[in-house]
Structure 1
Amino acid sequence: MSLLIADQLTKTYSTAGLFRSKASNVSGISGISFVIEEGMCLGILGESGAGKSTIGKIILGLLRPDSGSVTFQGTNLYTSNRAQQKKWRRDLQVVFQDSYSAINPRMTVRQIIAEPLRNYERMSLREEEHVVCELLETVGLSSNDMRKTSKEMSGGQLQRVNIARAIALKPKLIVLDEPVSSLDMIVQKQILIHLNELKEKYGLSYLLISHDVLAVNFLSDHVAFVDGGKIVETIETAHLFNCMHPVSKRMVLSAF
């Protein structure tokens, strides 16, 4: 059984501009379909406004599609009952682009990482501290960082904290929403290498949403090119330079 199946997802937005007398329908995405297998990273690659964010929100259960379905571990996300929702919310995590806005600035690093543990696990404070220490070390940070706040950390360090939080519950799938685009080039490479190591170590599956061809090329097994709200081409990353669609070719050639 495939880990996640997105089948014919369509979402249309209704917009009313200042100079429009009537609201008009603008298609966010149309007929989006893809499959993610266990241990696989699928890259959703597209330019700004292509529909990538809409896809991510629908997969995360944050935005209901007008039509189509998302099946995760055999459960339809949008027809599931409360017990099923609790399970898939545990197994489906996310790392957002902006590492600072993704957390509560009043929380310490320990509180940030422990938040999902407190929601889903029953453990003593000592057990919690031990797990948080292990997670910090897993993402290349130190247990000494536990009592720091976001103001005391760089963007790269805080993104590692967000990754630690995302893997705390040992999820099956992590949605990576432009996870390195706000970081400098050196830190980007470090984070991507670490995400790849975590994928291999824990058998994680990723949905990487990005406009960055180099990031997608490094981390993904397959790439789905999105343009105008539609997937115009899907290809194995190993054959990226053999893409055929004009949009795909333009994006790839512009990055190399």
Structure 2
Amino acid sequence: MKQFTSHIDFSLTKKRFRMMGKNISQFRSNSIKIFLAPVVICLSLMFCTDQNAENGLTPIELRSSFIGGYYKSEPILYIKEEKATYPPYYPFDPILHNEEGEIFTGKRTFYSRSPKNPGWEDHIKDGIITKTVYLNKKMIESNRVAYQLYEYEDGRYVTQTSYDSNDELIQRIEYTENSTRNYSPDGQLTSYGYTEIKDGNRWTYQKAWYPNGNLMMEIESGRDSSGQQSIWVSYDEDGNIKRQTRIEDGELIQEEN
């Protein structure tokens, strides 16, 4: 096994992991791409404009897309200022308001900014997103998903089901406040991620499996008294380790078979 070490600032860590993800994606099947798409979507950044101080609302105007670029909302909707933060596996705050502070029912569309082309459309009822329809051909071709349906319990977002253009089920995702589980159309668990607090620090864990049931990758990342600690291990379909990447006290260590 070859081993490479180097010292890096943690500010570069996310960039390096993204590069690793691109390399791994080259040998994944379509089902693996489907696994990655919702994860990226769930981690998409929300960008806020100036807050409406009078009614305590925070506008949600821009969102990043998993195919790149930022998309602007029309109309611009708002969340309550005290609800502006949300758990790491909770994609968005479900209660959306108009600029008058009234709970919104209707549709909002996200458009690319230059040129202005529709990306996706959210169907919203009583402030809750019930359906997302993708309008961008590249988005649909990238992950085979044409639309997604959402289910709620006690006002909380708990499931997301994705369908292709022929209304065939692509995958199902189940959420709690600190975890997410992805299932294939036949009910097989394809990925699982969760967070936990250790000594006041948040740790994140993620696992994904091949269609044959063998582990495809596992990620563990968090901080301890020594600093940032992370490990990313990828496997081939026979269960053999292909690559290990670790960050130990700021030291990047890569091992390849």
TM-score normalised by the chain length of structure 2: 0.32
Of Structure 1 and Structure 2, the greater strand share is in 2
Of Structure 1 and Structure 2, the greater helix share is in 1
Q: Which has the higher contact order (CA 8 A, sep 6+)?
A: 1
TM-score normalised by the chain length of structure 1: 0.32
